[in-house]
Structure 1
Amino acid sequence: MVTPVLSAASSHIGKVRASNQDSGSVGNHLFVVADGMGGHAGGDVASAIAVKHLVGIDQAFENTDDAREELYRGILDAGAKLTQAVAEHPELTGMGTTVSAMVRVGHQMVIAHIGDSRIYRLRDGTLEQITADHTFVQRLVDTGRITPEEAAVHPRRSVLMRVLGDVDVDPEIDTHIVDTAPGDRWLLCSDGLSGYVSEREMAEILLSIDDPREAVDKLILASLAEGAPDNVTVVIAHVEEGFEHSPPAEPQIVGSASEPLTYETGPVTRVQRLPALLLHPLRAQPIADEHFEPEEGYLEELIEEDRQRLRRRRIVWSIGVVLVIGAIAWGVVASYQWTQTKFFVGEDDGVVVIYQGVQQNVGPFSLSSPFEDTGIVVDELPLFIQDSVRDTLPADNLEEARDIVERLTRD
C-alpha cells in the first residue's frame, strides 16, 4: 500500500523583511511553527533553536499523556537553550520566539502553544482557531473591551504577553488535547498568514485543494498577494481514514531552522520597492521588530492609552449623534416653517375659513390651523362651490387665499 502525502510545510521571507525569522517543521507525528522576535537581535536564531530542538521528539507515542509531557518539556528545554545562547552571545539579549506545535497520537492532537502563531482545524467546512493568541489585544477582546474586528486593526496588536525567550525562565505554555477525525485539515501558521489573509480565504483554499503541498503554496501566494510585509510560514496536516499519523513526502524543516545556525546579526528590513507600493498602497507596513514583549510598566501605559482611545471614540460618537439629531431637528423645523407659508380655503363648523399650513398630519399632529374666519356660511353658496370649499382650495400665500374668498362671494 502506497502511503499518501498527508502533510507539508513551507516558509517565505515575504516582500519586506531582509531575513526569515520564521521556522517550521513537518514530520510523521510532530508539526511546528515558530515566529522569531527581536529583529537584528536574533529572531531567526530564536525560532531556529526552538524548532531544531523540537524535531527530536517526532516519534510515535503510546498515549496522549506521554506526548503532552514530552512536548511541554521539549519547549521548556528549547527555552533554556535560548537563555544559554544569550548568555554566550549578549548581543542577542531580548530575542524570543512564538511556538505552536502539535503531535498526532491516533485520533487526537496534543497541542502546545505560546505566542501568537496559530493552529486551526478545518472540519465540515468550518475553520476553527484552536489556539488563543497571547497578545495584549486578545486580552482586551477576552475582557470585552474591544471587538475581534477592532483587534485586527489595533495599533498594539503585535504586543505579545507571552513568548519563549531569555526574558522568562519559567514561561507559561498552553497545552491541551483535541480530538481529530478523518477529513480534518490542520493548519499551523505564523501571523504572516493569519494577519493578512482572511480565515474565509484560508478555509476556501483548504477546501478546494486536496494536496497539502499545493495548499501550502497557495496559502503563501495568498499572503504575497496582500503584500506579504512579514515572513510567512505554513504547515498543513491532513487526517485520513486508515492512517494513525499524517506523513509528509519526507520530514522537512523550513525557514531559518533549515539553515546552519549562526549568531551573526544584521538588518531585518528591506526597502519596499515601488511596484509593491503601487500594488498595495493601503496596507500599513509593520515596523521591523513586529513582535516584542512589554517592559515593566508598559502594559499600564497601553491600558491608559486604550482608555484614552475609548474616551475619544465615545466623544466622537457622541458628537456625531448630536450632529445627526441636530440635523434631523433642523430639517423638521425647516419643513414645518415651510408648511406655514402655505394657505388654503376650507370649511370649519359650516363657515368658510382661511387655514394656514398644509392639509396633512404627521401622526397626531396637524400641519394646519384656522387663520381667518370669513363669516361666509357654506350652505349659502352655490352647490358646486360648496363642494369645492369642503374639498379645500389651496393657495400659495395669504393674499391668494383672500382672493379665492372674494371670488366665492362674487359667484
Structure 2
Amino acid sequence: MTKAGDSAAISHVGKIRSNNQDSGYAGKHLFVVADGMGGHAGGDVASAIALQRIIEADADYTSAQDAEAALQSAIISANNELADAVFEHPELAGMGTTVDAIVAVGDEIAIAHIGDSRIYLLRDGELSQITTDHTFVQRLVDSGRITEEEAMVHPRRSVLMRVLGDVDSNPEIDTMIMGTHPGDRWMLCSDGLSGVVDKDAIEATLAQELPARQVGEQLVRKALDGGAPDNVTVVIYDVGVERSANAQTPVIVGSASRPLAFQNEAPKRTGLLPSLRLHAARANPLASSHFEPASEDYLDELIEEDARRARRRRLTWLVGTIALGLAIVLAALLGYAWTQSRYFVGADDNTVVIYQGIQQDIGPFSLSHEHKDTGIPLSLLSTYDRQQVEQTLSAASLEEAEEIVSRLRTTTSKDEDGG
C-alpha cells in the first residue's frame, strides 16, 4: 500500500477568455479535470455540473476495479444531468465538457477519460502521456496522415470527436487501471496547458522536487507566458509523499467552485416526450467552442476536407517550386547572355586569341570560348605586351577587342620593320 500523497488543484482564466469554463478537483482519493465548452454561458455550467456529480465518487474502494466501475457510472450520470439541464434550460443547448479523472486505490490507479484534456505520469524523471485525445487531428495522427508537430497547428486541432453533453446518451469513455509506485507524479490538465506548453517543458517542471502546488503554479505560469488563449487547469497527485496538514481537505477550482447560474428560467420538464432531452429546442443556441459530432459521415467529410487542404498545399508547393525553378533558369540564361556580350584578348599556345565571354568557370562549365585566332605570334610581341596578353586584356565589345588586336598587330609590324 502506498502512502497518501501530496496534491494540488490550480485553475486560471487565461489571458483571452472572459470566464473560466474549466473545473478541477483534488480530493482524498479522486482527482478530476473538466474542460467545458458551449459558449460564454454553457461551458462553465457543463464542467461544473459534471464535476459536482463525479466528485461523489471520491471514496475508499476495496479494489481498483470497483473504482473504475464507479468512475464510469459517475461520468455517465454526469452526462445524463447535462442532458437534463439542457432540456430544462434550452439556452444551454450545445454545451459539453471533457473529463479526466483518476482514483488512487492502494498501489493502483483507476483512470477515466473522454475529450482532449490529458493525464500524464512522471516516473523516474520520464514523462508519459497516459490518455489519447479524442480529437479529429489525433485520428489523423493515428492514421499517419499528419505528424504530431502538424497536429499542434492544424486548423481543426480543437474539434472533439467525443465529449459529455446533450448529444449522446451513452458516450464512449476510456477507462483503465495502472500500477503506481512511490515517487510517481500524476498530472491532469486541460488543453489550455498541453496546447501551449510543450512536453519537454512540462517534463522539466514536473521533475522538480517541489511541493505539488508550487509545481502546478509554475505550469500555469508557463501557459500564461505562452499567451494562454484558453483557460488553464492543472491537478497534481504525488504518490508516496507525506501531505501537509491541510492537504487532506478536498479542493475545488474553476467554475465548479462557484454557485451555478443560468441565464433565465425555462419551463420545467413535464415528463412528456422524454426522448427530446437529447435534442433540446435550439431557438438561440450558443455556438460550441470546439465540439462537433463524431458521426461517420461527419468524420469522412472532415478527412476529405483535410485531404483537399493537403492537395492544395502540395499544388501550392509545386507551383512555387516550378516558379522558383523558372526564375533561376531565367536568371541563369540572362546572366549567360550578358557574359557572351563581353570579350577579352588572351593567349593560346603560341598566338594571340580573341575570346568571347568572361574569364570564369562554373564547375565544369566555362563561360568563355575562342572567338577568333588572330594568328599574331606571341614571340613577336614586346615583353610588356606579351605579359599583358597572357594576363588577358578585357574588352566591353568585339569592336574594342579588335582594336586591341589591331594595336598589337601594329606594334608587331613596327618591331619587324625596325629589325
Q: For residue 329 of structure 1, what is the aligned residue in structure 2?
A: 329
The letter for the 1-side match of 2:289 is: E
Q: How far did residue 87 of structure 1 move?
A: 4.3
Q: Is the 8 A contact 1:68 1:110 kept in 2?
A: yes
Q: For residue 254 of structure 1, what is the aligned residue in structure 2?
A: 253
Which aligned pairs between 1:257-336 and structure 2 lie closer than 5 A? Answer: 257-261=256-260, 263-264=262-263, 289-294=288-293, 298-336=298-336
Q: For residue 161 of structure 1, what is the aligned residue in structure 2?
A: 161
Q: Is the 8 A contact 1:8 1:249 kept in 2?
A: no
Q: How far did residue 225 of structure 1 move?
A: 4.0
- The CA distance in 2 between the partners of 1:393 and 1:90, in whole Å, is 91
Q: How far did residue 113 of structure 1 move?
A: 0.7
Q: For residue 345 of structure 1, what is the aligned residue in structure 2?
A: 345
**What's the TM-score, normalizing by structure 1?**
0.81
Q: How far did residue 100 of structure 1 move?
A: 0.7
Moved over 6 A (4+): none
Q: For residue 218 of structure 1, what is the aligned residue in structure 2?
A: 218
- The CA distance in 2 between the partners of 1:176 and 1:160, in whole Å, is 21
**Aligned-residue CA RMSD in angstroms?**
3.2
The letter for the 2-side match of 1:216 is: G
Q: How far did residue 234 of structure 1 move?
A: 1.3
Q: How far did residue 342 of structure 1 move?
A: 2.3
Give the percent of matched residue pairs that are identical in Structure 1 and Structure 2.
56
Distance 1:265 1:31, change over 3 A: farther
Three-state SS of the structure 1 residue aligned to 2:155 is coil
Distance 1:254 1:288, change over 3 A: farther
Q: For residue 231 of structure 1, what is the aligned residue in structure 2?
A: 231
Alpha-carbon displacement from aligned partner over 1:30-58 (angstroms, at most 9, x marks no partner): 21101122235633333223222222333
Which aligned pairs between 1:174-189 and structure 2 lie closer than 5 A? Answer: 174-189=174-189
The letter for the 2-side match of 1:310 is: A
Q: For residue 79 of structure 2, what is the aligned residue in structure 1?
A: 79
The letter for the 1-side match of 2:249 is: E
Q: For residue 51 of structure 1, what is the aligned residue in structure 2?
A: 51
Three-state SS of the structure 2 residue aligned to 1:361 is strand
Larger mean CA deviation between 56-65 and 308-317 belongs to 56-65
Alpha-carbon displacement from aligned partner over 1:6-44 (angstroms, at most 9, x marks no partner): 110022334444543221111232211011222356333
Three-state SS of the structure 1 residue aligned to 2:186 is strand
Q: How far did residue 179 of structure 1 move?
A: 4.4
Distance 1:352 1:100, change over 3 A: same
- The CA distance in 1 between the partners of 2:261 and 2:402, in whole Å, is 100
- The CA distance in 1 between the partners of 2:41 and 2:391, in whole Å, is 88
- The CA distance in 2 between the partners of 1:144 and 1:397, in whole Å, is 61
- The CA distance in 2 between the partners of 1:397 and 1:60, in whole Å, is 98
Distance 1:403 1:59, change over 3 A: same
Q: How far did residue 237 of structure 1 move?
A: 1.6
- The CA distance in 2 between the partners of 1:356 and 1:180, in whole Å, is 81
Three-state SS of the structure 2 residue aligned to 1:39 is coil
Q: Is the 8 A contact 1:5 1:212 kept in 2?
A: no
Larger mean CA deviation between 53-62 and 355-364 belongs to 53-62
Q: Is the 8 A contact 1:26 1:248 kept in 2?
A: no
Which aligned pairs between 1:129-208 and structure 2 lie closer than 5 A? Answer: 129-208=129-208
- The CA distance in 1 between the partners of 2:4 and 2:165, in whole Å, is 37
**What's the TM-score, normalizing by structure 2?**
0.80
Q: Is the 8 A contact 1:41 1:93 kept in 2?
A: no
- The CA distance in 1 between the partners of 2:146 and 2:8, in whole Å, is 36
Larger mean CA deviation between 131-140 and 7-16 belongs to 7-16
Alpha-carbon displacement from aligned partner over 1:324-358 (angstroms, at most 9, x marks no partner): 21222122122212222222223335332111112
Greater Rg, structure 1 or structure 2?
A: 2
Distance 1:194 1:340, change over 3 A: same
Q: Is the 8 A contact 2:91 2:263 kept in 1?
A: no
- The CA distance in 2 between the partners of 1:222 and 1:288, in whole Å, is 29
- The CA distance in 1 between the partners of 2:216 and 2:254, in whole Å, is 14
Q: How far did residue 263 of structure 1 move?
A: 4.6
Q: Is the 8 A contact 1:9 1:254 kept in 2?
A: yes
- The CA distance in 2 between the partners of 1:326 and 1:107, in whole Å, is 66
Distance 1:351 1:107, change over 3 A: farther
Q: Is the 8 A contact 2:89 2:264 kept in 1?
A: no
Three-state SS of the structure 2 residue aligned to 1:230 is coil
Q: For residue 279 of structure 1, what is the aligned residue in structure 2?
A: none
Q: Is the 8 A contact 1:42 1:265 kept in 2?
A: no
Q: Is the 8 A contact 2:161 2:294 kept in 1?
A: no
- The CA distance in 2 between the partners of 1:394 and 1:210, in whole Å, is 76
Q: How far did residue 253 of structure 1 move?
A: 1.9
- The CA distance in 2 between the partners of 1:93 and 1:298, in whole Å, is 20
Larger mean CA deviation between 376-385 and 94-103 belongs to 376-385
Q: How far did residue 139 of structure 1 move?
A: 1.8
List alignment gaps of at least 5 residues for structure 1: 267-286
- The CA distance in 1 between the partners of 2:197 and 2:256, in whole Å, is 24
Alpha-carbon displacement from aligned partner over 1:175-209 (angstroms, at most 9, x marks no partner): 23344444433221112222333334433433446
Three-state SS of the structure 2 residue aligned to 1:302 is helix
Q: How far did residue 301 of structure 1 move?
A: 4.2
Distance 1:358 1:13, change over 3 A: closer
- The CA distance in 2 between the partners of 1:295 and 1:177, in whole Å, is 26
Q: Is the 8 A contact 2:94 2:287 kept in 1?
A: no
Alpha-carbon displacement from aligned partner over 1:361-397 (angstroms, at most 9, x marks no partner): 2222221111112122334445665555444443333
Distance 1:5 1:359, change over 3 A: same
Three-state SS of the structure 1 residue aligned to 2:20 is coil
Alpha-carbon displacement from aligned partner over 1:132-170 (angstroms, at most 9, x marks no partner): 111122222222333333333333322210011231122
